Structure 1
Amino acid sequence: MGVQDHTINILRELEQNALKLDDSQAQNFIARIRNAKHIFLQGAGRSGIAIRAFANRLLHLGFPVSVVGEISSPHTKSGDLLIIGSGSGETASLKSLAQKAVESGVDVGLVTMKKDSSIGKLASCVLVLPGTVKTENHRQREQFSQPMGSAFEQLCFITYDAIVLELMQQLDETSETMFKRHADFE
């Protein structure tokens, strides 16, 4: 089996997982984004990379956004939204962040594979992406599965872009209007 075969298997796995997405969860998530005064985003590891890309596109759409931990992040206020990307919903640093958000009156949105996780129980909205968390790969040895949560992280990128497309439609945005908000100092 070569790289082309692996690529095709990855795309098939992602397609099967995408077919299980709950659009009502996604629409609720989008409504929370649209109503937030400020959006903070955070993830760890590869999920963190995906959520940073999402933060960038939300900025291009004109939303006030910050990646948690960046020096330019403002103080939180009631009406803000913290979006966390965590496949397991159990990452210790992200659990602590979610708890602090709740205590500060900030809504928490979670993109995860585990709705009933610790962070999921703190979240006001959860978007479940089907997949296998990195500690459960042994459960899928008999069928194709990528290692250590890769499918979740890839589906995050695709789902975040799908949310951006939906927001573009709802807000009457185009690539041209968004490009005006793209960084010009690079």
Structure 2
Amino acid sequence: MTALKGQTVNPTTDAPAIAPATESDVLRNISLVRDEITNTAAKLDARELAGLAAHLSQGGRVFVAGAGRSGLVLRMAAMRLMHLGLTVHIAGDTTTPAITSGDLLLVASGSGTTSGVVKSAETAAKAGARIAAFTTNPDSPLAGLADALVIIPAAQKTDHGSSVSRQYSGSLFEQVLFLATEAIFQSLWDNTDEPAEDLWLRHANLE
């Protein structure tokens, strides 16, 4: 393998040489990502989003479960919900208690078939908890378990030949998931009388 100028190649891997990105490359792809997010977000169903937000307003604890990059987005959403004063737990953390009736499980899976996420939803359903889900697939097992469902019309991460997105492996789903959860947080906050300064008092101080 021939290294590009200024690039070190690890001979123990099969990684291809990557040419440096130019300014025009970056600008072109900023437009690509922006336009795909804008077009996909415009297709979100506001009733579905409002329905999910209503479940967050019903009280009870909120549990968050997701894998990979979708799970990271939901962790960001969990922080914002905590800032609103909700009691939020991340599935898998050692201090996360058992989910029970009256609680809400918030989950996301582009395919709706991610085994750990579906298993969490099945466990929550058996415990009598409500389930709020984001997915691309309305016919998936996860969608079938959901009490509140938001469909994000993005390509699934294994749909490499999709005409929906030119981005790689589920990126569009994760980007619009972030946008959707931020919009839900902002809408819930708008319906409180708490200033930002009060929300900030709940922010972690043991960082």
What is the TM-score of this pair, normalised by structure 2? Answer: 0.85
Amino acid at match of 1:9: L
1:104-183 map, 5 Å: 104-140=127-163, 145-183=166-204
* Partner Cα separation in structure 2 for residue 29 and residue 53 of structure 1: 17
Assess if the C-alpha contact under 8 Å between 1:50 and 1:153 holds in 2: yes
- Report how far residue 144 of structure 1 moved: 5.2
Deviations 1:69-125 (A, max 9, x none): 111212222110001011111001111111111111111110111122101101111
The amino acid across from 1:103 in the alignment is K
Which of 1 and 2 has higher RCO (CA within 8 Å, sep 6+)? 1
Query: In the aligned structure 2, how far is the partner of 1:124 from the partner of 1:169?
Result: 24
168-177 vs 97-106, greater mean Cα deviation: 168-177
Secondary structure of the structure 2 residue equivalent to 1:16: helix
The answer to whether structure 1 residue 95 and structure 2 residue 118 are counterparts is: yes
1:32 aligns with 2:55: yes
Residue type of the alignment partner of 1:17: T
Shift in Å, 1:130: 1.6
Q: 1:144 to 1:119 in 2, by over 3 A?
A: closer
Matched residue of 2:57: which SS?
helix
Contact 1:78 1:106 in 2 (8 A): yes
Ranges in structure 1 where 5+ consecutive residues have no aligned partner: none
* Secondary structure at the counterpart of residue 135 of structure 1: coil
> Which blocks of at least 5 consecutive residues in structure 2 are unaligned?
1-23
Which whole-Å deviations, capped at 9, do the CAs of 1:37-67 have from their partners, x for residues lacking one?
A: 1000010000010000000110011001000
Number of residues paired by the alignment?
Answer: 184
Structure-1 separation of matches of 2:206 and 2:114: 34
Q: CA RMSD in A?
A: 1.2
Aligned residue in 1 for 2:205: 184
Higher percent of residues as helix: 1
Q: Which amino acid aligns with 1:167?
A: L
Contact 1:78 / 1:105 at 8 angstroms: preserved in 2?
A: yes
- Find the residue that maps to 1:2 and give its secondary structure: helix
TM-aligned CA deviation for residue 172 of structure 1: 2.5
In the alignment, the residues of structure 1 paired with residue 43 and residue 160 of structure 2 have an alpha-carbon distance, to the nearest angstrom, of: 19
Task: Report sequence identity in percent.
Answer: 34
TM-score where L is the length of structure 1: 0.95
- Decide which structure has the larger Cα Rg and report it: 2
